[in-house]
Amino acid sequence: MSKYKKHIMVCGGTGCRASESDTIVEKMKKELENRNLDKDVQVVITGCFGLCEKGPIVKMLPDNTIYTEVKPVNVTEIIDEHIIKGRKVKSLLPADSYKGKTDSKNMDSFKKQIRIALKNCGFINPEVIDEYIASNGYEALGKALMEYTPEQTIDIIKKSGLRGRGGGGFPTGLKWEFAAKSKGDQKYVVCNADEGDPGAFMDRSILEGDPHSVLEAMAICGYTMGATEGLIYIRAEYPLAIERLQIAIKQAREYGLLGKNILGSGFDFDIILKLGAGAFVCGEETALIHSMEGLRGEPTIKPPFPAESGYNNMPTNVNNVETFANIPTIINKGAEWFASIGTKKSTGTKVFALAGKINNVGLIEVPMGTTLREVIFEIGGGIQDGKKFKAVQTGGPSGGCLTEKHLDTPIDFDNLIEAGSMMGSGGMIVMDEDDCMVSMAKFYLDFTVEESCGKCAPCRIGNKRLYETLDKITQGKGTEADLDLLRNMSHVIKDTSLCGLGQTSPNPVLSTLDNFWDEYIAHVKDHKCEAGQCKSLLQYNIIAEDCVGCTACARVCPVGCIAGEKKEVHIIDQSICIKCGACMDKCKFNAIELI
Amino acid sequence: MAKVKTLADLRKMKSELRSKIQVRENPENPESIVQIKVGMATSGIASGAKEVYNFFTEELAKRNLSGITIQVGDMGYCYAEPTVEVLVPGKDPIVFGYVDVKKADQIIEKYIKNGELLDGIIPPNYQNINE
């Protein structure tokens, strides 16, 4: 039925377009026309292949051959050899091809992403349990209940090397074992779905795209520790995730996959939802438990750990959404399989939410040990508008920024901590040369100040003082002594805060001080903000030679700080100027500069 | 709804469900149909995925095409929402980005009816562990 017999797909992602993929498309169309092939072969511009470093990419259909680093001069060769004679153009095949991997279906080495936690996301209807069952759903629960003892199940998770994906990176199997060994009349499994980092949406995507995987994993966890009740703590700000979870729970109950005597095993397990009001601190497990109990969402000192005394003072195991989403696959495919992915100490994959100044904003899942360069410049398609990469903030308000020197560091729990950041839950915010790092640190501190529960003084008062000092620097009123103050205060807050929120909140300050010291110095000594974001440090000036005296700027100025007669050079009164930039936008003669 | 009472029941159910899917994906089978998956997580819906979903559902019927529209979760290509995956029996699934009603119409007329591709296809850049 197809009108076209063959298709040539040319990558039209930003990276490939920068290296002339547009010209390639035009030339292909023309050459095909010249050969009277334009009715048989269609040239299609595609989105990013995620192989930007080897671009431009050209993919041939139906045989799925991929050509890399194609230049306009190669077009005729591709058409004459590949299309007409049916021979592959060897010089353009990616290096791997000599191992026999010439088509994209087998080019796994080329695909940087492996989807485990996201395996069903975007493939099945999250509101239909049958689709989940058809893609091997609840098999792992059945297998655990029928074929493994609780101890064996914990052992599989331990051997897999899975570590908590919420940010801490604590070995999951060990956590389960603690909870299993604790004694209590009633035990609880809790799913932490209180995703709160700015720019992070991994957990939401999993819950919206594959809620059953989390339910199944919670039931497996319940089986290993002897819990019959599960609770999902989710923020009310995620209405769609809540709705889909409710549908999933209802369907699982109808099938008897939740409830009494699951699959005839004698094991009972049910799950309810607990809605939170969206406080960042409630991602901390003790605060989360208090919030579920109806108390204020404030952390308490550990020990006792929730594994001994958690929800209702009973043994409780708390895991993050993504951690749970990995469990069914580990049971189905085995611990060795999982441990073979990733690095030795950080096994498996990690989901990241790419945001900020990056071309392919989105949700990705890569094996641990993938480098930042691969994530940002290949999968992420590079920096928007061809700007220069400056830094990436990982781990949200608790993490730090990583810079160019870290680009080739393999991402895993330990490497990121060594580099002064942390894995966090997986938000990655990419910044370019136009971003001011002092303002960035201030943004995160503003968030932390807002979200601090106020229970302990270092966090409540210290973060506020950090914010004020940063604010002072961005106003151009900072001194070098303030930089020492920032550093000292940061260390005190880290060392003395009660919970993870305060212990990590100074990280954005410390890591920017370490990596962008010059930028801080420029702010306090020269009163300059290179990135042009700190408005107080900027000055709008009228260039006398270029000003024609059209009065447009004076008319648009909201505070009337521009004076000058018609056809004469105008002047800005800096003491009144509010730096709104309206004059610069209005000027048709480029006579206003920002210094 | 019948309860799934044993692991054997569950496995039987799985293979039945799978063979149903195979029937609709097998181009040789007269019952094979086009499957359209619309990414409908919050980000997709916010960029208009519901409208696109309704359009496909109504238009497939109006234009006498046998096919189903399925809502799915986030495909990961958030920069190109709404995203839609079209699976024509016997062919590899193809993901289209930035799908609005106009583009959805082109997908039906050009791709589904004629096998013609459209600019803006998103190549899959990951490996999925689902068999």
> What is the DSSP annotation of A8-72?
EEEE-SHHHHHTTHHHHHHHHHHHHHHTT-TTTEEEEEE---S-GGGPSPEEEETTTEEE-S--G
Write down which residue in A270, A300, A335 finishes a domain.
A335
Q: Is A145 on the interface with B (CB under 8 A)?
A: yes
Task: Please check whether residues A411 and A466 belong to one and the same domain.
Answer: no
Q: Is B13 on the interface with A (CB under 8 A)?
A: yes
Domain of A584, in residue numbers: 539-594
- Is the pLDDT assigned to residue A51 strictly greater than 80? no
Domain-embedded: residue A118: no
CATH number of the domain that residue A399 is part of: 3.10.20.600
Torsion of CA A437, A442, A444, A449, to 10 degrees: 170
CATH number of the domain that residue A168 is part of: 3.40.50.11540
Q: Is B110 on the interface with A (CB under 8 A)?
A: no
Kindly report the nearest CA distance between residue A142 and chain B, in angstroms.
5
Contact A125 B10 (CB under 8 A): no
The confidence score (pLDDT) of residue A396 equals 87
CATH number of the domain that residue A561 is part of: 3.30.70.20
Q: Is B17 on the interface with A (CB under 8 A)?
A: yes
Which of A12, A114, A359 lies at the smallest CB-CB distance from B126? A114
> Which of A29, A48, A65 has the most B C-beta neighbours within 10 Å, making it the best mutation to test the interface with B?
A48
pLDDT digits (tens, 9 = 90+) for A494-550: 999 999 899 999 999 999 999 999 999 999 999 889 888 888 888 899 999 999 999
Helices A463-474 & A480-496 angle (0-180, nearest 10): 160
A319: amino acid identity, one letter? N
Task: Please check whether residues A491 and A428 belong to one and the same domain.
Answer: no
Contact B76 A363 (CB under 8 A): yes
Write down which residue in A302, A335, A368 finishes a domain.
A335
Write down which residue in A285, A301, A335 finishes a domain.
A335
Q: Is A389 helix (H, G, I), strand (E, B) or coil?
A: strand
The confidence score (pLDDT) of residue A99 equals 44
- Is the pLDDT assigned to residue A577 strictly greater than 60? yes
Task: Please check whether residues A249 and A176 belong to one and the same domain.
Answer: yes
- Give the number of A-B residue pairs with CB atoms closer than 8 Å: 189
Task: Check: CB of residue A474 under 8 Å from CB of residue A442.
Answer: yes
The confidence score (pLDDT) of residue A197 equals 85
Q: Which residues of chain B have pLDDT under 50?
A: 131
DSSP conformation class of A193: E
Task: Please check whether residues A457 and A550 belong to one and the same domain.
Answer: no
CATH number of the domain that residue A65 is part of: 3.40.30.10
Residue A404 CA neighbour count, 13 Å, CB half: 7
- Is the pLDDT assigned to residue A55 strictly greater than 90? no
Task: Please check whether residues A19 and A91 belong to one and the same domain.
Answer: yes
Contact A204 B42 (CB under 8 A): yes
Q: Is B103 on the interface with A (CB under 8 A)?
A: no
Domain-embedded: residue A478: yes
The confidence score (pLDDT) of residue A248 equals 97
Closest-CA residue to B96 (of B71, B57, B123): B123
DSSP conformation class of A572: E
- Is the pLDDT assigned to residue A595 strictly greater than 90? no
Domain-embedded: residue A116: no
Residue B43's closest chain A neighbor by CA? A205
The confidence score (pLDDT) of residue A106 equals 45
Task: Please check whether residues A466 and A571 belong to one and the same domain.
Answer: no
CATH number of the domain that residue A519 is part of: 1.20.1440.230
User: What is the pLDDT averaged over residues A67-91?
Assistant: 90
Domains of chain B: 28-122 (3.40.30.10)
How large is the ipTM? 0.90
Task: Please check whether residues A467 and A587 belong to one and the same domain.
Answer: no
Count of structural domains within chain A: 5
Task: Please check whether residues A196 and A300 belong to one and the same domain.
Answer: yes
pLDDT digits (tens, 9 = 90+) for A198-233: 888 999 999 999 999 999 999 999 999 999 999 999
Task: Please check whether residues A156 and A188 belong to one and the same domain.
Answer: yes
Task: Please check whether residues A69 and A91 belong to one and the same domain.
Answer: yes
pLDDT digits (tens, 9 = 90+) for A481-490: 999 999 999 9
Task: Please check whether residues A199 and A322 belong to one and the same domain.
Answer: yes
Burial of A361 (0-12, 13-18, 19+ CB in 10 A): buried
Kindly report the nearest CA distance between residue A398 and chain B, in angstroms.
24
Contact B119 A12 (CB under 8 A): yes
DSSP string, A259-299: BSSGGGSS--BEEEEEEE---GGGGSHHHHHHHHTTS-S--
Q: Is B71 on the interface with A (CB under 8 A)?
A: yes
Kindly report the nearest CA distance between residue B52 and chain A, in angstroms.
16
pLDDT digits (tens, 9 = 90+) for A161-212: 999 998 889 999 999 999 999 999 999 999 999 998 888 899 999 999 999 9
Kindly report the nearest CA distance between residue B27 and chain A, in angstroms.
12
Domain-embedded: residue A120: no
User: What is the pLDDT averaged over residues A276-292?
Assistant: 93
Task: Please check whether residues A226 and A371 belong to one and the same domain.
Answer: no
Domain-embedded: residue A122: no
Confidence tier at A57 by pLDDT (50, 70, 90): confident
Domain-embedded: residue A167: yes
Confidence tier at A96 by pLDDT (50, 70, 90): low
Domain-embedded: residue A370: yes
Q: Between A557 and A100, whose confidence is greater?
A: A557
Domain-embedded: residue A216: yes
The confidence score (pLDDT) of residue A103 equals 45
Q: Is A54 on the interface with B (CB under 8 A)?
A: no
The confidence score (pLDDT) of residue A1 equals 41
Strands (E), B23-129: 34-39, 67-72, 84-87, 94-96, 121-122, 126-128
